[in-house]
Amino acid sequence: MNALAHELVAAAAHLAGLGLSPGSSGNVSVRDGDRVLTTPTGADLAALDPHGLSVLDLDGRHLDGPAPSKEYPLHLAFYRREHATRAVVHLHSRHAAAASCRSPWSERSALPPLTPYFVMRVGQIPLLPYAPPGDPAQAAGLERIAFPCRAALLQNHGPVVAGTSLRAATEGAIEVEEASALHLLLGDQPVRLLTPEEATALATRYGTYWDPAR
């Protein structure tokens, strides 16, 4: 547990250092068996204490440490969706938050397959309808999504990204920000997207999800 706490603190500081967690926004969690370490409410991701993290069980019961971030239900939803999930990152990164204010590219992905790395590290990323931050109904909606995904954009809010490791979740969150920036930069001009065959082949090879039918 101690090693995971230090790993979480390092990952959070890395995200903050990239400018992806303005102020006290964003939260990170990591799973250890049937317990979850998560950032406390109002925490600055650049200045976390590995001995001052919140500890929850998978039903959301607070076991130890300070009060958890109000967004913890989103994290638990991903842990319950897929047993292989070991970490979750939620950010208010600028470009991804901006992309969450736009209409989604498709029913299953708010962002199109612009680059191979987006498909390799994230895959399809549905847009969840707006809800107030911390609304448990939004987390329940995430848990009930009928198709596989390891990330979602929260409408008018920002991204939440799961991974099979803390590194995978962190890299995925960074990739969502980069893909969102490209999407906004390109605007409505004609672009070449990865073909359904190209995107599906990458998702299959790297263990993400992409529906070739959009």
User: In this structure, which amino acid lies at residue 4?
Assistant: L
The residues annotated with a catalytic role in the active site are 71, 117
Residues 6+ apart with CB under 8 A from 188: none
Q: What are the strands, taking DSSP E only, across the chain?
A: 27-32, 35-38, 54-57, 62-64, 87-90, 127-128, 151-154, 158-163
Reading the chain (214 residues) residue by residue, the pLDDT tens digits are: 689 999 999 999 999 999 999 888 999 999 999 999 999 999 999 999 999 999 999 999 999 999 999 999 999 999 999 999 999 999 999 999 999 999 999 999 999 999 999 999 999 999 999 999 999 999 999 999 999 999 999 999 999 999 999 999 999 999 999 999 999 999 989 999 999 999 999 999 999 999 987 7
Angle, vertex CA 29, rays to CA 26 and CA 30, nearest 5: 155
State whether CATH 3.40.225.10 applies to domain 2-206. Answer: yes
Spans of all domains in the chain: 2-206
- Alpha carbon distances (Å) from 157 to 26, 92, 142, 160, 192: 11, 7, 14, 10, 28
DSSP 129-162: PP--TT-HHHHHHHHH-SS--SEEEETTTEEEEE
